[in-house]
Structure 1
Amino acid sequence: MSIFRFPLLVWLGIGILIFSLGIRQSFGIFMMPISDTFGTGREFFSFAIALQNLLFGFFQPFIGMASDRFGSKKIIIGGAVAYGLGLYLTSIATEPSMLYLSIGALIGLGLSATSYVIILGAIARVVPAEHTAKAFGLTTSAGSFGMFAVIPGAQALLNQFDWQTAMQIFALMCCVMIAFASFMKATKENETSANAPMVDDSQTLKEALQEAFSNKSYWLIHMGFFVCGFHVMFIATHLPSYLADKGLPAQTAAMALAYVGIFNIFGSYFWGIMGDKFDKRYVMTSLYLVRTVVIAAFVTLPVTENTAVIFGGAIGFCWLGTVPLTSGLVRQIFGARYLSTLYGLVFFTHQVGSFLGAWVGGRIYDYYHSYTPIWWLTVVMAFIAALIHLPINDKPVPRLVAHHAS
């Protein structure tokens, strides 16, 4: 299936992700103006963003369950409203503690309803199983494209207006997500469309959870995605400080992170295509082996401006390639009916890994006064994650086999 023949819902989902994740990725450039306004220092704003990420993961399984029950359209619209409200309340906040509710809780809730888990769950119901990973890869790459589409615009807004006005314009942009979601067909219609894969509606949510929790492969998928979260947040949070410790200018870190985003666009789609053509378990193992080699080479070779940028591109190429493969494995094993719930739980594990990656990285640095131990820990974790995916049984559960046979 050519990407141009994907159902309209896929392209609507991509549009929603560009705005949802693009706005989220821009929050870093608001740190200094917001911190200056409230006179709180940077730690306060950083904690509000950390709270947002933790709640993003905490809300995700419950939002996924609601999406599987009531349909993705209603959930995305509700999430966009919460997102916009969080942005607006941030812009009119008079006390810094208000940010815990606005940019922390409300936007964390909004993200859980407008990002990968819900969008991929909706797409899984309209794209044939053999093209799922490709569709998921294309959709995942939209998040990185949003990073480059929205962040320059956010900087331009800050140059032209104050940060409060920029936040209010972002709040209005959430209306675009509502508009895109309003064109998405209801879940039941998607499931019964001519192009939709057959879905077993006889299983209850409780039965789906029991089936997944008793499946060893499901827990191996959790463990692998935990490592991904640890890697991504450790590198995103601590790479600039690591490069500064090596005496490199700040623009080197910015360029390295920019390369992460650029190469992630291509990498997410590439790994998605590979997941459709080859066994997803072995593709995932290959991805983590690439990470192992890339990180080990980076900490072994002399750190220069060139090696920092090359590292950004190399690690970016396998940055979020895990998303289409992980969600594709969950869909392949358990079916599309409760994908938002089951992948939502896996995503929560990813966010726990992200939280620990940011926190443990700083803790180890404070203890050893060096990032070297944590870098080598990420190398070991990458290699273990490569091995973890080999024993996964990726065959559909017996329930699905029996259903399709009938």
Structure 2
Amino acid sequence: MSSATHPPAQAARLSAVQVLTCGAAIVTLSMGIRHGFGLWLQPITQDMGWTRANFAFALAVQNLAWGVFGIFAGMAADRFGAFRVLVVAAAVYALGLAGMALSPTPLLFTLTAGLLIGMAQAGCTYAIVYGVIGRQIPAERRSWAMGVAAAAGSFGQFLMVPVEGWLIGGFGWQKALLILAAAALLIMPLALFLREPGFAGGAVPQRDQTIGQALREAFGYRSFQLLMAGYFVCGFQVVFIGVHMPSYLKDHGLSPQVASYALAIIGLFNVFGTYAAGSLGQRMAKRHILAFIYFARSIAIVVFLWAPLTPTSVYVFSAVMGVLWLSTVPPTNAVLAQIFGVAHMSMLGGFVFFSHQIGSFMGVWLGGYLYDTTGSYDIVWYIAIALGVFAGLVNLPVRESAIARGPQRMGAAA
């Protein structure tokens, strides 16, 4: 039986409890910190005399860097194990947050808040943790386990966003970022518990496919292309809302506390949404789950823009969007593992996520650019609605069965 058929160490796996507990804690920290970045938009731009476009461009670079470096972080994790990647990413995350606090110019802010933090997120978020889950959790529980990890990231948003708002109010925005830099270093000890047996002593597991073969196969497969297209839309929508909604609400006369509560509600309800998506993925066609999520997002945005803007309408919208927020993550990654196997899962997940981050770049940058140009976010909201319909349609034809391969490589599809 091929070595690519199962996780690297067939006789010795990490326990599911260990993988999920430590992986969830890492995602909680890494995603929880970045979910609150929208709270810094107005304090930083007002204090430093920068435009919203300056801030938005830095976060756009962050999302693009996350996507680009996610590919290489995934390759490294697949080859050398997640532990090494997580440790380096934690150190870079802390450095980027400190630099974000101390940057005196928009250029340095873009290099730290944008490039460094984006590189760090590539090495300590979903693609890396999901690679460990794919290799260490049996296939019959994989979608559920990915839902648990995604729910942890959502809980991180619910937990960390109010904490970040409190830190900004109590210590100022610069000291708050330095405190978060110290918190990011906690990823290092957590990574110790994700050292996979198959990578012990620098061992490299044998695989039936080279990286080049895996990439040619994936990019030549229509369902992979469709998943990438859908994930582009996911990135556009969630990052635009996550970064610009606090300012959108303040522009319409609502207090900053409403924005903090709204982001926290998104995080809370996404705990349930991601867990449900992962669990349903064990029993339902994942393409149908994904199509429903994207269609429902567009409907939710239409209703939000149509209804009178009040704290209540904001909280209802946040709850609905929360259920749909990161619930695309478990079924998308589970489909990848189902089609292509787990041997190159972090790398392939990195490429799909790169598409997500191109969408994130466009969402956050267009939000700032069009606001500065037109004085309104309306055009970006309408684009988000249209893209949601598009993503729902392109996910429907996705084929979820294992890709057909020649006999010499059949093992890699398991």
TM-score by length of 2: 0.85
Quick one: which of 84, 91, 96 aligns to 1:86? 96
Task: Identify the residue that residue 352 of structure 1 maps to in structure 2.
Answer: 358
Residue 75 in structure 1 maps to residue 85 in structure 2: yes
TM superposition shift of 1:314? 0.8
TM superposition shift of 1:102? 2.6
Q: In the superposition, relative to structure 1, how do residues 206 and 315 fare at CA in structure 2: closer, same or farther (>3 Å)?
A: same
The CA distance in 2 between the partners of 1:405 and 1:45, in whole Å, is 43
Gaps of 5+ in 1: 191-198
CA shift digits 1:18-51 (9 cap, x unpaired): 1112222333444455556655465544433332
The CA distance in 2 between the partners of 1:292 and 1:27, in whole Å, is 24
Within 5 Å, which residues of 2 pair with 1:43-192?
43-91=53-101, 93=103, 97-161=107-171, 163-186=173-196, 188=198
CA shift digits 1:56-102 (9 cap, x unpaired): 12211111111111111111111111112223444555666433333
Quick one: which of 392, 403, 406 aligns to 2:411? 403
Task: Identify the residue that residue 307 of structure 1 maps to in structure 2.
Answer: 313
Task: Identify the residue that residue 196 of structure 1 maps to in structure 2.
Answer: none
Within 5 Å, which residues of 2 pair with 1:2-21?
6-21=16-31
Paired AA for residue 392 in structure 2: A
Comparing both chains, which one has the higher relative contact order based on Cα–Cα distances under 8 Å and sequence gaps of 6 or more? Answer: 2
- Aligned residue for 2:137, secondary structure, equals coil
The CA distance in 1 between the partners of 2:95 and 2:383, in whole Å, is 40
Q: Which moved more, 1:320-329 or 1:349-358?
A: 349-358
Does the aligned pair in 2 maintain the 1:51–1:100 contact within 8 Å?
A: yes
Residue 394 in structure 1 maps to residue 400 in structure 2: yes
Q: In the superposition, relative to structure 1, how do residues 384 and 156 fare at CA in structure 2: closer, same or farther (>3 Å)?
A: closer
TM superposition shift of 1:395? 0.7
Paired AA for residue 226 in structure 1: F
Q: In the superposition, relative to structure 1, how do residues 121 and 92 fare at CA in structure 2: closer, same or farther (>3 Å)?
A: same
Gaps of 5+ in 2: 1-14
The CA distance in 1 between the partners of 2:400 and 2:406, in whole Å, is 12
Within 5 Å, which residues of 2 pair with 1:293-372?
293-361=299-367, 371-372=377-378
Q: In the superposition, relative to structure 1, how do residues 276 and 353 fare at CA in structure 2: closer, same or farther (>3 Å)?
A: same
Task: Identify the residue that residue 289 of structure 2 maps to in structure 1.
Answer: 283
Q: In the superposition, relative to structure 1, how do residues 253 and 279 fare at CA in structure 2: closer, same or farther (>3 Å)?
A: same
TM superposition shift of 1:147? 2.2
Q: In the superposition, relative to structure 1, how do residues 248 and 177 fare at CA in structure 2: closer, same or farther (>3 Å)?
A: closer
- Aligned residue for 2:77, secondary structure, equals helix
TM superposition shift of 1:282? 1.4
Q: In the superposition, relative to structure 1, how do residues 159 and 312 fare at CA in structure 2: closer, same or farther (>3 Å)?
A: closer
Q: Which moved more, 1:355-364 or 1:273-282?
A: 355-364
Paired AA for residue 30 in structure 2: S
- Aligned residue for 2:194, secondary structure, equals coil
Does the aligned pair in 1 maintain the 2:246–2:256 contact within 8 Å?
A: yes
Paired AA for residue 58 in structure 1: V
CA shift digits 1:322-379 (9 cap, x unpaired): 0111111111100111111111011111111112123334555667766555434333
The CA distance in 1 between the partners of 2:265 and 2:42, in whole Å, is 23
Q: Which moved more, 1:292-301 or 1:248-257?
A: 248-257
The CA distance in 1 between the partners of 2:100 and 2:385, in whole Å, is 39
> What percentage of residue pairs aligned between the two structures are identical?
38
Does the aligned pair in 1 maintain the 2:37–2:243 contact within 8 Å?
A: no
Task: Identify the residue that residue 193 of structure 1 maps to in structure 2.
Answer: none
Does the aligned pair in 2 maintain the 1:83–1:171 contact within 8 Å?
A: yes
TM-score by length of 1: 0.86
Task: Identify the residue that residue 215 of structure 1 maps to in structure 2.
Answer: 221
The CA distance in 2 between the partners of 1:31 and 1:377, in whole Å, is 22
The CA distance in 1 between the partners of 2:46 and 2:271, in whole Å, is 34
Does the aligned pair in 2 maintain the 1:38–1:96 contact within 8 Å?
A: no
